[in-house]
Structure 1
Amino acid sequence: MTEVKDQVTSAAQRVALITECNEFVAAQPVMHARTVRAAANLPIDKDELNAAIMGSGIAGFDASMSKRSKRIVKNTYMYADLVALLKFPAASQKEQRYNEFMRLMKLTGWFAFSQPYNRYSASSQKLTMDNVALTIIHGAVGAAIGQGQTALKVLSTVADATMDALKNEPEALKLFENNSKKAEGGNFCMSSALEDTDGGITLAVAAVQYLANAQPTKVLFVEWATSAVEIYNGAATMHMDEEDYLMVEPLIVKALTEQREKALSYEFGTKA
């Protein structure tokens, strides 16, 4: 993996850039009333369980994670995902959307190592999107720099357990399907996180964009014909110390609160 190389951004610049993003998000159209009611009916995410749906993302958390660290992961991911999707909504903008997501994750406090965004090469005539996501995230974890083998194994194990648990969580799966599918295909992310003894957070992310002429009723846990779908992917591993997040946290929380209908978090699984 290679470090995400941008110009060094000062604290003041980070605040200014996120403020600019917030102004952009606030100027977008308000969600329809039916969507607002659907969001209001979701149970409150209390950061108590070991997995969550975050917009079009699936997140898994190791038992090491504090409630505070889970919330940091959720807030930064949902913020970056929301802004990137609003800025680059078209299927043809998939690479720009991924690059913007990575830029925003860095602005929110993550130090990231990333694999290039590219077309996914399937090894068989049939595939399932859940297996594609797990293959990508396992690859990202395997290429991680500066992490011990125990930590890498934990990230992979958490990802596997989270995807397996999702099969038995119909409400979480329904929310994910609604958020990830688009007319021409769809996009989603799979992530896995752990916290070390010093409070640092490590996050592995696999981003998947697919284009298909015929949209199945489900995205995950069903077979796709390789010839009928184009898949693109990006992957990254990231690390954060909470101090890097604190200076921009009020801005991120404010934006997510105002855009609650667009940035939904639904926890599932067992207590970590």
Structure 2
Amino acid sequence: MTTVTPGSGNQSAAVIEQSLLAFGLGIDPAIRNDIKNAYQYASLVASRRFPNEGQTEQWFAQFIDVMRDCGWVALKRTYERERAQTQSLKLGAIAFKGMKVVGQAVLSNPLTDALAQLAADALEGLGQVTEAQDILLRNLKEKKTGTVGLGACIQNEAGEVILAMSAIDSTPFADHELNTVVFEWKSTAIELYTGSAVFAFNSDLYGSVRADIRNKLQDRAVRNVLDYDI
């Protein structure tokens, strides 16, 4: 559908509610703020309606519906049950796999590879930023949500913004110690739900709801977003 030349260095990532979202080079700061606000708003709506463990499938469907209302066109979405082939399942590996599979279904190989690299760099960076880990773990504990997410965004030379993301059922990981990076938790669960999607951003449509979403987030005094470089 579109191609991109991956950059190197100076990418950034953000902890947004219970998700980790990476941004590629060249994304305009104003657009990056729009992406974060839409993603956070959709996460909050989904978590309010489906906050419990074992509700990731419903959470993901609600998240997609809200993102669509915020100007994000879902190009592809998938639902999978990940079955353990070894003695443990790893959150990071499952989310990464889900993003690549859904990306390869609708995007060019260079774009899929660039999104996957961004996600990998964000995962590595998360392990080096204690504050980011603390915010993510706090969000998971305080909200008692059963879903965590991983995503990556890229803007091509034509200005098109593509987002690939995965939502994962964290229930089988809930009993593990919280002193490790959340995406490196392991579980011996036999099966794990993963939802993945690729979106394209319609900034004109988002413009009609931008102020409303910003005001709602400000009124709620949301503090649960932290940016860091990777």
Corresponding residue number in structure 2 for 1:123: 85
Gaps of 5+ in 2: 1-9
1:216 pairs with 177, 190, 193, which one?
Answer: 177
User: Residue type of the partner of 2:210?
Assistant: E
Query: How many equivalent residue pairs?
Result: 218
User: Residue type of the partner of 2:92?
Assistant: D
| 1:69–1:123 CA distance, 2 compared to 1 (3 A) | farther
Distance 2:63 2:84 in 1: 25
1:181 Cα offset (Å): 4.2
Residue 246, structure 1, aligned to residue 207, structure 2? yes
Corresponding residue number in structure 2 for 1:83: 45
Question: How far does the alpha carbon of each residue in 1:168-192 deviate from its partner, in whole angstroms, 9 at most, with x for none?
Answer: 0111011111223479873211000
| 1:50–1:210 CA distance, 2 compared to 1 (3 A) | same
Question: How far does the alpha carbon of each residue in 1:38-96 deviate from its partner, in whole angstroms, 9 at most, with x for none?
Answer: xxxxxxxxxx9611100111011111212122112101100000011112222243322
User: Residue type of the partner of 1:197?
Assistant: E
Question: How far does the alpha carbon of each residue in 1:166-225 deviate from its partner, in whole angstroms, 9 at most, with x for none?
Answer: 110111011111223479873211000000122221000100112237343243224332
Question: How far does the alpha carbon of each residue in 1:138-161 deviate from its partner, in whole angstroms, 9 at most, with x for none?
Answer: 222222x2x332222211111111
| 1:71–1:183 CA distance, 2 compared to 1 (3 A) | closer
Q: Which structure 2 residues correspond to residues 148-227 of structure 1 after superposition, within 5 A? A: 148-181=108-141, 186-212=146-172, 214-217=175-178, 218=180, 219-227=182-190
Distance 2:144 2:227 in 1: 28
User: Residue type of the partner of 1:180?
Assistant: L
Distance 2:151 2:120 in 1: 10
The answer as to whether partners of 2:139 and 2:224 remain within 8 angstroms in 1 is no
Corresponding residue number in structure 2 for 1:19: none
Residue aligned with 1:63, SS:
coil
Corresponding residue number in structure 1 for 2:218: 257
Distance 1:186 1:164 in 2: 23
Q: Which structure 2 residues correspond to residues 19-98 of structure 1 after superposition, within 5 A? A: 50-98=12-60
Residue aligned with 1:162, SS:
helix
Distance 1:131 1:232 in 2: 13
User: What's the TM-score once normalised by structure 1's chain length?
Assistant: 0.73
**Which structure's CA Rg is the greater one?**
1
| 1:183–1:60 CA distance, 2 compared to 1 (3 A) | closer
User: What's the TM-score once normalised by structure 2's chain length?
Assistant: 0.86
The answer as to whether partners of 1:126 and 1:225 remain within 8 angstroms in 2 is yes
The answer as to whether partners of 2:17 and 2:224 remain within 8 angstroms in 1 is yes
User: Residue type of the partner of 2:208?
Assistant: M
Residue aligned with 1:226, SS:
coil
| 1:185–1:51 CA distance, 2 compared to 1 (3 A) | closer
Question: How far does the alpha carbon of each residue in 1:201-260 deviate from its partner, in whole angstroms, 9 at most, with x for none?
Answer: 100010011223734324322433235xx5211000000131121011111111111122
RMSD of the alignment, in Å?
A: 2.2
Residue 266, structure 1, aligned to residue 209, structure 2? no
| 1:132–1:148 CA distance, 2 compared to 1 (3 A) | closer
